[in-house]
Structures are given as structure tokens and as C-alpha cells.
Amino acid sequence: MEETRQENARQAALDYHEFPQPGKLEVRATKPLANGRDLSRAYSPGVAEACLEIKADASTARRYTSRGNLVAVVSNGTAVLGLGNIGALASKPVMEGKAVLFKKFAGIDCFDIELDEKDPVKLAEIVCALEPTFGAINLEDIKAPDCFIVEKLCRERMNIPVFHDDQHGTAIVVGAAATNAMLVAGKKFEDIKLVSTGGGAAGIACLNMLVKLGVRRENIWLCDLAGLVHEGREEEMTPQKAEFAQPGGPRSLADVIEGADMFLGLSGPGVLTPEMVARMTPAPIVFALANPTPEIAPDLARSVAPDAIIATGRSDFPNQVNNVLCFPFIFRGALDVGATEINDEMKLACIEGIAALARATTSAEAAAAYSGERMSFGRDYLIPKPFDPRLMGVIAPAVARAAMETGVATRPVADIATYKQKLDGSVFRSSLIMRPVFEAASSASRRIVFAEGEDERVLRTANALLEETTDKPILIGRPEVVETRLERAGLPIRPGRDFEVVNPENDPRYRDYWGTYHELMQRDGVTPDLARAIMRTNTTAIAAIMVYREEADSMICGTFGQYLWHLKYIRQVLSRDGRVPIGALSLMILEEGPLFIADTQVNPEPTPEQIAETVIASARHVRRFGMVPQVALCSHSQFGNLDTSSGMRMRKALEILDARKPDFAYEGEMHVDAALDQSTRDRIFPNARFQGPANVLIFADADAASGIRNILKMRANGLEVGPILMGLANRAHVVTPSITTRGLLNISALAGTPVAQYG
């Protein structure tokens, strides 16, 4: 059975690399090449202009070429993962994978370069000759001690960052994990005894970094295949190992492990035994980083030291020391400020950023990527997970700042805070466009009640609201369930202390709530018994009553169930004093920019009057995002050419709008392509009321609007903000079951904005 499982896994890995096309990389053009004009600009004669500009000023290469965002991953295949010296060609899948990680995690373009050259001096000469092509060099999987020679020569000769990830990337992540391990164990770097196995590139780099963090060199005991590195030893010695030589004669790992506070293994399987761990200090720190099999299995270490703090290089154990936590983001920061090198200060800034992030509340995105894992700071969570999207916005600015402070930045960023916002916007696509909304929401402290308060997405949103805003979340749910799920998710907030919980099964306001609901609905067939039942079981109705009674300012529901079911109870309670649901507006964030769509939910087939109201309300909400509305009324009919139901209703809506003379641009009725493409619209109707693409599409029925919304989500990688329920003075919003925690936080910011802020 195990053999079959392994063979299946092997074949799956091979298929991944072969299909649908071989390899993991491709090159795509960033500029159009559709006609002769494009060709003349991309190549001859237009390309000469860019060449001449770069000849006159080399720094302009960053403006006119990809060099400023291009990294080379260079290897000769002499020390590949745990495979050893497999050669340059066989290393290519690894280097392609490294290039993919650069792109995925930091948006950095990358070429993998495999060189069939064993001589470290010649290898360095080849790498140095690549400087005109790349903005930075990532050396990878070059055996020790050759890697030290290659890196030294390249750093001396090249005026761009050169980073040997096996050394320094590993050292940075180990440094971050060790920083937090010290906190958990209640120890200090300067006081500990450290025993390490493995004198290769990664091991030496880790020890040097730990020295920079405070470990005393005389308290470091380095062992390798020949035993303890000691003064006078000649076997298997290098200048790098010699720096850690202890006085005295030969000794083994078993001889020196006594009283060690920390073990750092970058060697091989089974090197550390349980008996050795038992001889370490209480709360021993065991970093067994050999791959794929660690120096000691975590369960064996814990069998003799239950309080051990353990890290490995594997993803199936807690505290995986993974270089992807570091290298994409340190290169991002270095490239963005035009750093000439990656120095110690930049590496230490990276360590501090990674360590601090682990101590913060886990992001919802990371929690979703690692479903089922408990991620709260402690002995089993020393460092963040690789898919934590906050890594970019924390590490890259810290690295950039350190580069500027140490004078190695050739293009300093003017404002680190603005730079961070830009990076966050590249990771959280809604970040930049939502900024005006969050700023407006910060002007007041509003009470927002969540109808589905037991949902983990809601719990994470409540935590984010308390961390990032002045709003006060109210959760409807059973307190014991809320408490359990908060604990399971590793969230620090607690009901009663940090936020209010409304228990539908036992709340002192129950009599008041069902009484209010009965009073509102008694002439719509609702009896007292029915009112009691609804206020005991229907959390959407409870939330609406709380808003009606002004015990909350706004409500959010819809994480499960059907939109119109939720809307029914909102209408019953909150459609008062001329306020009625007008329509649902969805903001779709696309690669080409933002696009608003309405009405996706409320009116299945709106009347002309309802369409006109939707147009006006949509324009008002678009302005909340700092945008100028350009509204297209969309239909199968185009500028009067068809007397379809949708066409006639749209034309009538246009007449209503013309009579009201709103202060924004609108036009219709038209097809979607005419709305989005100026040239198409000019051919059909050259006298349209706005120029450029529409940013708001209003449809004549919910089928069309909802269909377009879902197509953009599923096939165009559109990120939705919304739906925004218009017409109820920002007192209620109904989301959809597919919403993420980030989406809920965005809706909460919209709900948290006083109506006075946007009219």
C-alpha cells in the first residue's frame, strides 16, 4: 500500500511538471504587438530610442526595460536540495520552481540559469558577466565551500544585490524562529549554549546570524562528520568552520550536548537521539532542519522533553523553516530602492519583520490556506506561514528602510508608509480602492451587528475590526460556540470583554425584541407566537430589530442562505420612512481596473423608475471610492434600435434621469462592448455623453447583472467588494455565501461609514 501511495505521488509530481505544457515557466509580452505600428515601436526603429536613453544614462534601464524587476536564479547543480551533486541540467526543475516562487509571492520576474561550471572562480566570472541583464542575483544550490568563493567574488565585483539563499535565506528564517523561541522559552541569546551539526553553507550562515543576534561565539559548539570543530583540527576543516573552533581536543556530539539550550541541525537524519535531548536544559529548543528526514523526529524529542520547542524543514510538522518566508520579500525591498547589495542590516530587518508577524494575530487568508491548523503564537507557531499575505507589506518596507538608512539605496522611496500601502495593494487587491472608504469609516465609531456571529469568517472580521478600526462589532450567536471557535481559530478576542454577544437562545431583551417585531408586523399576519419563534431562531430578523431599535447602527448578514430570504426580513423591519432597498451594487476589481455592476440581487425585473433610482444611488456609492462615475445603461437594444422590454425600460429610465438632471455622466441604452470600448461606441453613437470606458454597468434585469458578476469572478479573476445594499441609509447589507473574511471586512468598512460622509 505504501509503495503504491509513493508511486502515485511520484507520478502526480511528474505530471505536474509535464502537463499541460512542460516546465513551470513561460515568457509573456507586456506590450501589445498587434500591428505594424506596435512592431515599429517594439523593435526597429523605435527600440533605438530606448537604447540611446540607456546609453546616455544607465539608470534609465529600469524605466525602459524589465531589468529593475528581474532576478536570476543561478546554480551549477552541485548541492541540490537533499539530492546532492546532480548536475546543472538536473537542477533545472528546482530553479524553475524558485522562479515561480519569486513571481507568486513578490511579483518579481525571474529567469533560471543553470551553468555547467564547477570551478568557483570561473562560475563567479560568468555570473558577473550577467550584470547588465538583471537587477539582482540569487545564487542557489552551490556546494560549500565553493559557494563562499562565488558569493564573495560576485559581491565584490557586482553593483547589484547578490544573495546566496541557501546561506542567508536559511539564516534569516532560523534567526526569526530562534528570536521567538527565546521568547517562548524565557531565554536570551547572550546566555544560551548552542550546539550545532553541519558545517556547510547554511549551517555556517545560521551560526554567523545567531552571533549577530547575540549568541556568544564561545558558547557555540559546532559538530560535523569528523566530530567537534576544535582548535588544531585539520580533518574536514575550512576557514569558515575554524571561526567556531573550541579549545581542547576531539569530542563527539554526545560529549558536548550536556546542558545545551538550543540544538541547530543542518546535517542528516537521526543525528540527535532522545537520550541527547534529555540531557539538554528544560524547555530545550530543537531546530532539526535536515530534509527530508530531520535529525530527530518531533515525537521522539517530545517523548523525553514534553516542553521542547521544535522546528523542522518539513511542512507536515509545526514551525517549518522555509526560505520562501524571506527571499521573495527581501529581493522586493532591495529592487524597489535600487540597492547595490543586501547587507546585514537588511537581513536583520527581515528577521525582525518575520518574527513580529508571527506574534500578531494570524491573517484570515493564511488561516484559509492552512485550514484546520491552529495558528496562534507559541511553541507550535514561531514563524508565519508562507501564504500569509502580510509578509510582503511587512518585510519589503523594513528591508527598503534598512537599505536607505545604510546608504546602499540608489533610488530611495520618498514615503515608506505610501510604499507599504502600494505593496499591500498588490497583495490585497481591494486595499487601494478601499482606502477612501476606510478613511471615511474612521470618522465615527459605529456599532455593527453580524447576524451569523458563529461563522469563523465573521469572528476573524470582528477581530480585524477591533484591531484596525474604531467600530464595535456585535455578534449574534451562542456564547459557548463563539468562545470555542475563537479558541480554535487562535483569535485573542473574547465575548463580553471585547465585544457584545446576543444569544438567540437566552437574551434578556428577548421579550422586547419579539414585542417590537410583532408591533411592526401584526397587520401582516404575524401572530405573537410567530413573533416569538422568529426572534428565537431567525438571526437576520434579530439583527434588523436591533438596528430598528437603534441598538446597532448597521447589520451584516448573508454568509449562508439565499439573498432574497435575508432581504425579506430586512424589508419587513427597516423599510420605513421612505427608505426601501433600491438595488445591490457589486464592485468587481479586475486587472484592467474597477467595474461596478447593478442591480445584481434586489429587483428581478426593475421598472424604469427603479432603474433610474439604481443609477443615482450607484453614482453616489461610486464616489465613496474616490472615483468619478460614468454610468452605462446596458441592454440588448442599442440606442433605440430594438423595442425589447429591456430597451424600452432603459429608454424610459433615461428620460427620468434627464428630467432630474443628475450631476454625473450617464448614457444608454447600449451593449456592454459599447459601454466599455470608446472606439466601438464612436462607430455606433459618436455623440455619447461620456468619453472612455464606463465604470458602472446598470442592467435591465437581475439575471444579466448577476450573470456578468459571476462570470467576472469565475473567469476573469475578478475580486468582488459587495454586494452593497443601496437605499436603506447604510443600515443593512446582505453578502453572499462565497464571501471571504477580507470581503466581510470591506463590507464592514462600508457599513461603518456614516451616511453624512457620502450623502
Burial of 675 (C-beta count, 10 Å sphere; 0-12/13-18/19+): buried
**pLDDT for res 690:** 92
- Per-residue pLDDT band for 759 (boundaries 50, 70, 90) equals low
pLDDT value, residue 370: 58
* pLDDT 10s digits, 107-124: 999 999 999 999 999 999
360 backbone dihedrals φ, ψ, rounded to 5°:
-85, 170
Mean pLDDT of the residues in the chain: 92
pLDDT confidence of residue 328: 93
In the block, cell 544607465 appears at: 58
Sign of CA dihedral 594, 596, 597, 600: positive
Please report which residue ranges of 305-389 form alpha helices under DSSP H.
327-336, 344-359, 364-369
Q: How much is the average pLDDT of 472-489?
A: 94
Question: How would residue 296 be classed by pLDDT, with cut points 50, 70 and 90?
Answer: very high
Which 8-state DSSP code applies to residue 362? Answer: P
pLDDT at 595: 95
Q: What are phi and psi of 452, to 5 degrees?
A: -105, 70
For 618-640, the pLDDT digits (tens) are 999 999 888 899 999 999 999 99
Largest CA distance in the chain: 98
**Please, are residues 679 and 664 in contact by the beta-carbon 8 Å criterion?**
no
Give the angle 463-464-470 at the CA atoms, nearest 5°: 100
Name the band, by pLDDT with cuts 50, 70 and 90, for residue 577. Answer: confident
* Beta-strand relationship, 220-224 and 227-228: antiparallel
Q: Please give the pLDDT value at position 149.
A: 95
Lowest mean pLDDT: which of 112-121, 364-373, 576-585, 663-672? 364-373
Read off the pLDDT of each residue in 263-291 and give the average, rounded to a whole number.
95
Instruction: Give exposure, 439-475, as e/b (b: 16+ Cβ within 10 Å).
Output: ebbeeeebbbbbbbbbbbbbbbbbbbbbeebebbbbb
Q: Number of H helices and number of E strands within the chain?
A: 31, 21
- Using alpha carbons, select from 727, 728, 731, 723 the residue that is nearest to residue 546: 731
pLDDT of residue 1: 60
Determine whether 508 is exposed, middle or buried from the number of CB atoms within 10 Å of its CB (0-12, 13-18, 19+): exposed
In this predicted model, what pLDDT tens digit does every residue of 320-361 receive, in sequence order?
A: 998 989 999 999 999 999 999 999 999 999 999 999 999 987
Top-ranked range on mean pLDDT: pick from 122-131, 382-391, 435-444: 122-131
Dihedral angle computed from the Cα positions of residues 131, 135, 140 and 146, in that order, rounded to the nearest 10 degrees = 40
Among 32-46, 137-151, 239-253, 259-273, the range scoring the smallest mean pLDDT is 32-46
pLDDT score for 355? 95
Whether residue 369 has pLDDT greater than 60 = no
Q: Looking at residue 366, what is its pLDDT?
A: 64
Angle between helices 539-548 and 528-537 (to 10 degrees): 100
Burial class, 680, CB count within 10 angstroms (exposed 0-12 / middle 13-18 / buried 19+): middle
- In order of start, what are the domains of the chain with their CATH numbers? 1-25+35-160 (3.40.50.10380), 168-315 (3.40.50.720), 324-427 (3.40.50.720), 428-578+750-758 (3.40.50.10950), 580-730 (3.40.50.10750)
Q: How confident is the model at residue 20 (pLDDT cuts 50, 70, 90)?
A: confident
Are the C-beta atoms of residues 241 and 224 closer than 8 Å to each other?
A: yes
Residues with catalytic roles: 98
Give the pLDDT confidence score for residue 135 in this predicted structure: 96
Is 388 a residue whose pLDDT tops 90?
Answer: no
Q: Are 730 and 751 in contact (CB under 8 A)?
A: yes
The string of pLDDT tens digits covering residues 685-744 is 998 999 999 999 999 999 999 999 999 989 888 889 989 999 999 999 999 999 988 889
Share of the chain above pLDDT 70, in %: 97
